Amino acid sequence: MQDIAKPLQDLGASLVALSPQLPELGLSIVEKNNLSFDILSDPNNAYAAKLGLRFKLPTDLEAIYSSFGIDLPKFDGDDSWTLPMPGRFVIDSNGIVRAVDVDPDYTVRPEPEHTLEVVRRLQGG
């Protein structure tokens, strides 16, 4: 997404990410990767749940995640073992959702360029 942050800004759009991770981890990711956009925290995946986009990892996957050093309770600050479905939302300046890309398969994610094209089309470009 960093690759389209500047073109989005040039179009008058803002880019933010939303993550269940603790705020200090989001800040660390922004600083470590020199990101030009913010990562906001969604404690307990509460907003993702309101949108119907939160899912609980099966118990067998908890052990697999842990074996790879992925400690969701530590990273997210809760022991729910939930994750949000990856998605991108284009929201206009009036707060109206104009486009959504969400897939329950975490390996299917929209290309950043697609998001940029959506914003261009919405602006008539």
CB 5 within 8 A of CB 37: yes
pLDDT at position 124 is 82
pLDDT at position 125 is 64
pLDDT at position 108 is 87
The structure's pTM equals 0.83
CA 41 to mean position of chain CA atoms: 10
Q: List, for residues 27-77, the tens digit of each pLDDT value.
A: 999 999 999 999 999 999 999 999 999 999 999 999 999 999 999 999 999
Q: List, for residues 83-93, the tens digit of each pLDDT value.
A: 999 999 999 88
CATH 3.40.30.10 at 2-122, yes or no: yes
Inter-helix orientation angle 2-10/112-122, to 10°? 10
**How far is Cα 93 from Cα 40, in angstroms, rounded to an integer?**
18
Q: Mean pLDDT over all residues of the chain?
A: 92
For CA atoms 77, 82, 87, 92, the dihedral sign is negative
- Three-class DSSP category at 87: strand
**How far is Cα 32 from Cα 51, in angstroms, rounded to an integer?**
30
pLDDT at position 63 is 92
**How many residues does this entry show for the chain?**
125
pLDDT at position 72 is 93
Residue 13 has phi, psi (to 5 degrees) of -100, 160
Cα three-residue angle 60-74-47, rounded to 5 degrees? 85
pLDDT at position 34 is 95
> What residues does each domain of the chain span?
2-122
